[in-house]
Every structure is written in structure tokens, then in C-alpha cells.
């Protein structure tokens, strides 16, 4: 049974491959109306070959498999009742293929697939109650502090010399990994699949380019037909010192060429942001705490911005793993208010070394329920937030009345626009405004750590456009109506504490 936006799988019997089990000679075309796609199959053991396909429309699909096994047939593809299709980047936001709203509220469980059954089940249970709809996790196991356990299975078998053989995928590993991806997908959670990373003691970080290519192509054969996966080329690509930047461009090319559906694709940095202007890169995946850059990067790249690491709530020795719950929530609101997205992670010391950020288990932090509160608010908005340059300079209009073309002529603007380097970066940080809007329908201002007791919001002056103004306490998770009906520049009385947002909704 073929369902639109759901993975369809053909199983064909044949002889065991003679050479590589990764690069088997098998592909199939799927045709429906004027759509025709060719996908590669893979060998899944016990004489079974599989070809997976992700149909993106309803109708009759004719398919034809060629290579080591041949077959042909047709299948009616009907509408899915559960899948909205892949998540796609549209402008600076994401949405499902069928147009349904998708706002990524991710979390981080790097070595999810490499834990015991017990922990995996506990993690699934935790996720069922958590707000997260995307998980950054790795194909390769992870070696790092608090991560010294060996996984039961690895992605490859070893050859006679004890070296990983990329031509002999460990089939039970992949089945296990797919099971996790599927279970997450059915919970509405996207897998942001990390293809490479440096935290390794087994050798997966040191595959040759030739081996990397075999591996990547195999991953695409097996996994590209799942609707709920994203390609994350690496966790911290820039500290995989055996790879040059050209290697990453090559990986980008392979994935883009092999993946017929063009799943979301990006690359995660340690210190040096990847070049998000590259055409194959669908969104900006950034590790940084510079939440104030969210608007600038959206404008620069015209792509969605996801803070896929902005430190973790926890109490580790490392500065990246010991921010407070409040600060995590503050970072979420800061970026999300501008229409960017943030990924959660948690690193509380644990007597059994089960830290959520790598292994999953139980959530201990104070941020997830506040992230859920934010998620609900943003999903309730009529559309997607985009950065809002609140016209605060109107306040000075009397002073500069003669200079109608303020941005061009005003020496203050001239000074601001002339800043560069250090001066520019530090003033951006200081004067950050975390504001977003949905056209003229909604305006959101987040005050972050500002403790204003008075403020104002510059709503459209058009008298027909009236707004209800609410005050949101992001930590205590309260919403209160401050003004029932407002328009134009409106004075606000605020509580004078950190973590306050103001939401103006058109009535």
C-alpha cells in the first residue's frame, strides 16, 4: 500500500551480492503522470533487496526495478492520513510539503541510537511528554566525557584485518537506527541526522574520502525515502581536521545528487560558521550564543536560521553545558521572537552518566515546559514570524522632521551604518532588539534580560488596525491582557523584571 508522503518499500528476492554490499547494482524508476524518479536499492540480508520510495503525489505509480534483480509493477498511491510530507525551507521558515506549519523545536541526543534498549525506551517515554519535534542525533557512536560505553552495534562490519569495511554495512545496526527514526517520525519528531562528527575512538571520524562516499551513498539508499529526516553533514564540521572545506563541498554534492527528494541539508560548526549561501544548503545551522544575529542572518542568507547549539541547560564544568534553565528559555525566546529557531540540550551531571544531550533518558531541567509554552504561542500565530525593525525612530521625528529620508541623511544612522569589525559586533550585541511580526497581524517584542517598567510598541498608525496587547511572563508562563484595543505608538506598563514579552494581536 502506497501512501503519499509515506515511505514505500519494495522487497525483492535475489542472490547475495558478490562484491560490495553497499554499492549493489539496483535501481528503480517510479512513474506517475509526468513525474519520474529513479532511486537506488540496497541489500538487506537473507537474500532480500529493498527499494524505498517516497511518493509525493497521489495516483497510480508504475515502477520498474533493474540491476541485480528485476521486477516491475504498479501501485495506487492514496492520500496519507498521518504524514504531511517532508519539511521544506520556504523563505526564512519551514513548512511541511502539504503546507502545514512546522516550527522546529529541537533537542539534542547525539548518541541516541547507541544506548541500551532500556535507555532508548526511557527516552521515547520522555519525548512523548516533551515539546520537541526535531532531534539532532548521530549515525556514528560518540566518544567523549560521560560517553565511554560501547554500542552493541556499529554501522559497519569489520574486515579480516579488523578494519571497518564500508562495503559491509552492519544490517542489524541500520535496522535498529531506522526503527528509531521511524518511531520518532511517528511521534512527529524529525531526525536531524548527523552524518559525521569528530568525537570518536573507533575510527569512523577517519574514513578515507573514498570510504566516506560509499557510506554516504548507502545512507541515502536506505534512508532518503523517510519523510522525517534532515541531512546534517556534521556536528562541528570544522574540527574534523582530516577533512578540508572542499571535502565538505564534495559531501554536499554527493548527498544532493543522490537524494532525489532534496531533504533539508546543512552543516553544523564548532567555531567557523559554514557557508550558508551555498545553493545546496537549505538553512543556517549555527552553533553560537549570538541570538541577536538571528535577524541579520535571515536577511543575509534568505534562509531559515536554526540555533542548533546555544549551550545546554546543566551543571557541567564546560561553559557550553552549564547554563541555567532561565537562560535556555531566554535564548529560545530571543531568537524565536525574530522568527529564528533554537535547539534545546541538557547536561546535568548524573550518577550513571546518562546525560540527555548524548544519551537521552529523563529530562531534569526547568526549560522544557517553558519551551512547550513558547511553542504553543508560536503555533497559535496566524503565520510565521519574521524579524521586525520596530520603527522606534518615529519618536525622534520632531527632532529630525526636515530629514524625511532619515536613514540616508541622519548622522546617527550614518554612524551606525559606518561601523565595522569589533565596533559593529559589540554594538549589535548591546542594542539587540528581539522583535518579530506576522505581517500586520501580529507584533511580538521580547525584552530578554531588560527589566523595563515602561516601554512602548510602535503599532501601525492606521486606525482600522486595532490590536489586543498581552504581557507574557516567559518563565512563569502567564499571559495577561494589558490593553484590549490599541493602535499606533502605544505606551506600556511592564513588570520591571527579566523574561517579559509583549504580544500584539490584530483584532
Interface contacts to a copy of itself, rule CB under 8 A: 238-239, 241, 270-273, 288-290, 293, 311, 314-317, 319-320, 322-324, 327, 349, 411-412, 415-416, 418-419, 421-423, 425-427, 429-433, 449-456, 496-498
Residue 405 CB, nearest approach to a copy of itself (Å): 17
Q: Phi and psi of 187, rounded to 5°?
A: -90, 5
Separation of alpha carbons 79 and 441, rounded Å: 33
- Report DSSP state, residue 156: E
Separation of alpha carbons 337 and 390, rounded Å: 13
Separation of alpha carbons 417 and 114, rounded Å: 50
251 versus 447: smaller Cβ distance to a copy of itself? 447
Residue 299 CB, nearest approach to a copy of itself (Å): 14
Residue 323 CB, nearest approach to a copy of itself (Å): 7
- State the angle between helix axes of 171-186 and 117-128 in degrees (0 to 180), rounded to the nearest 10: 20
398 versus 431: smaller Cβ distance to a copy of itself? 431
149 versus 322: smaller Cβ distance to a copy of itself? 322
100 versus 244: smaller Cβ distance to a copy of itself? 244
Q: Which helix (H) or strand (E) holds 128?
A: helix 117-128
| 90, β-bridge pairs | 93
Question: Nearest Cα to 378, choosing from 419, 432, 307, 437?
Answer: 437
82 versus 300: smaller Cβ distance to a copy of itself? 300
Alpha carbon 191 to its chain centroid, in Å, reads 8
Residue 207 CB, nearest approach to a copy of itself (Å): 18
Residue 419 CB, nearest approach to a copy of itself (Å): 6
Residue 369 CB, nearest approach to a copy of itself (Å): 18
Question: Nearest Cα to 80, choosing from 100, 106, 105?
Answer: 100
Separation of alpha carbons 117 and 133, rounded Å: 21
Residue 414 CB, nearest approach to a copy of itself (Å): 8
22 versus 358: smaller Cβ distance to a copy of itself? 358
Separation of alpha carbons 469 and 492, rounded Å: 9
187 versus 349: smaller Cβ distance to a copy of itself? 349
List the end-to-end C-alpha distance of the chain, in Å, as a whole number.
Answer: 46
Residue 329 CB, nearest approach to a copy of itself (Å): 13
Distance set, CA 481 to CA 391, 485, 502 (Å): 23, 10, 10
Q: State the cell numbers at 393.
A: 525612530
Residue 426 CB, nearest approach to a copy of itself (Å): 4
79 versus 419: smaller Cβ distance to a copy of itself? 419
Residue 435 CB, nearest approach to a copy of itself (Å): 12
79 versus 424: smaller Cβ distance to a copy of itself? 424
128 versus 398: smaller Cβ distance to a copy of itself? 398
187 versus 239: smaller Cβ distance to a copy of itself? 239
Strand order in the sheet with 386-387: 386-387, 434-438, 442-446, 500-506, 467-473, 478-486
Q: State the cell numbers at 46.
A: 537473507
Residue 442 CB, nearest approach to a copy of itself (Å): 22
Burial of residue 39, with CB atoms counted within 10 A of its CB: 0-12 exposed, 13-18 middle, 19 or more buried: buried
Question: Nearest Cα to 358, choosing from 199, 203, 189, 181?
Answer: 199
- Report DSSP state, residue 143: -
The alpha helices in 13-116, defined as continuous H runs, are: none
- State the angle between helix axes of 245-258 and 209-223 in degrees (0 to 180), rounded to the nearest 10: 30
- What count of Cα atoms within 13 Å lies in the side-chain half-sphere of residue 137? 27
The alpha helices in 203-355, defined as continuous H runs, are: 209-223, 245-258, 294-301, 325-336
Residue 322 CB, nearest approach to a copy of itself (Å): 5
96 versus 326: smaller Cβ distance to a copy of itself? 326
Cα angle at 238 between 260 and 151, to 5 degrees?
75
Residue 283 CB, nearest approach to a copy of itself (Å): 18
167 versus 283: smaller Cβ distance to a copy of itself? 283
Separation of alpha carbons 111 and 361, rounded Å: 11
Amino acid at each position: 500500500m502506497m501512501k503519499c508522503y509515506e515511505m514505500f518499500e519494495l522487497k525483492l528476492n535475489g542472490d547475495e551480492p558478490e562484491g560490495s554490499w553497499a554499492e549493489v547494482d539496483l535501481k528503480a524508476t517510479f512513474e506517475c503522470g509526468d513525474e519520474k524518479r529513479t532511486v537506488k536499492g540496497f541489500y538487506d540480508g537473507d537474500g532480500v533487496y529493498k527499494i524505498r520510495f517516497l511518493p509525493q503525489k497521489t495516483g497510480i505509480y508504475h515502477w520498474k526495478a533493474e540491476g541485480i534483480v528485476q521486477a516491475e509493477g504498479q501501485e495506487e498511491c492514496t492520500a496519507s492520513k498521518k504524514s504531511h510530507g517532508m519539511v521544506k525551507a520556504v523563505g526564512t521558515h519551514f513548512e511541511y510539503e502539504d503546507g502545514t506549519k512546522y516550527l522546529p523545536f529541537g533537542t539534542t541526543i547525539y548518541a541516541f541510537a547507541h544506548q541500551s534498549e532500556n535507555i532508548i525506551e526511557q527516552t521515547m517515554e520522555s519525548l512523548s511528554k516533551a515539546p520537541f519535534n526535531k532531534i539532532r542525533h548521530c549515525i556514528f557512536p560518540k566518544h567523549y566525557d560521560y560517553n565511554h560505553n560501547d554500542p552493541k552495534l556499529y554501522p559497519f562490519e569489520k574486515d579480516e584485518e579488523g578494519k571497518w569495511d564500508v562495503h559491509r554495512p552492519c544490517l542489524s545496526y541500520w535496522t535498529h537506527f531506522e526503527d528509531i527514526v521511524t518511531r520518532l517520525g511517528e511521534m512527529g519528531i524529525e531526525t536531524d541526522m548527523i552524518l559525521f562528527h569528530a568525537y570518536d575512538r573507533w575510527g569512523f571520524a577517519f574514513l578515507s574520502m573514498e570510504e566516506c562516499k560509499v557510506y554516504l551513498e548507502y545512507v541515502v539508499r536506505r534512508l532518503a525515502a523517510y519523510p522525517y529526516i534532515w541531512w546534517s553533514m556534521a556536528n562541528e564540521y570544522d574540527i574534523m581536521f582530516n577533512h578540508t572545506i572542499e571535502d565538505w563541498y564534495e559531501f554536499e554534492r554527493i548527498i544532493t545528487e543522490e537524494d532525489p527528494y532534496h531533504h533539508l541539508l546543512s552543516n553544523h560548526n564548532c567555531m567557523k560558521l559554514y557557508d550558508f549561501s551555498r545553493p545546496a544548503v537549505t538553512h543556517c545551522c549555527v552553533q553560537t550564543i549570538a541570538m541577536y544575529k538571528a535577524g541579520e542572518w535571515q536577511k543575509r542568507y534568505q534562509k531559515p536560521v536554526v540555533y542548533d547549539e546555544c549551550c545546554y541547560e546543566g551543571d557541567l564544568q564546560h561553559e557550553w553545558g552549564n547554563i541555567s534553565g532561565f537562560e535556555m528559555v531566554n535564548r529560545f525566546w530571543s531568537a524565536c521572537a525574530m522568527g529564528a529557531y533554537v535547539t534545546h540540550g541538557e547536561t546535568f551531571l548524573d550518577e550513571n552518566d546518562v546525560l540527555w544531550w548524548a544519551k537521552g533518558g529523563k529530562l531534569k531541567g526547568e526549560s522544557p515546559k517553558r519551551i512547550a509554552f513558547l511553542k504553543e504561542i508560536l503555533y497559535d500565530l496566524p503565520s510565521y514570524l519574521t524579524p521586525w525593525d520596530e520603527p522606534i525612530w518615529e519618536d525622534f521625528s520632531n527632532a529630525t522632521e526636515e530629514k524625511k529620508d532619515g536613514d540616508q541623511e541622519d548622522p546617527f544612522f550614518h554612524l551606525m551604518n559606518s561601523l565595522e569589525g569589533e565596533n559593529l559586533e559589540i554594538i549589535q550585541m548591546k542594542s539587540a532588539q528581539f522583535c518579530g511580526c506576522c505581517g500586520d497581524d501580529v507584533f511580538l517584542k521580547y525584552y530578554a534580560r531588560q527589566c523595563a517598567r515602561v516601554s512602548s510598541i510602535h503599532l501601525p498608525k492606521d486606525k482600522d488596525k486595532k490590536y489586543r496587547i498581552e504581557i507574557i511572563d516567559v518563565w512563569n508562563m502567564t499571559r495577561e491582557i494589558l490593553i484590549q484595543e490599541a493602535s499606533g505608538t502605544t505606551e506600556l506598563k511592564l513588570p520591571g523584571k527579566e523574561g517579559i514579552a509583549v504580544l500584539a494581536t490584530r483584532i
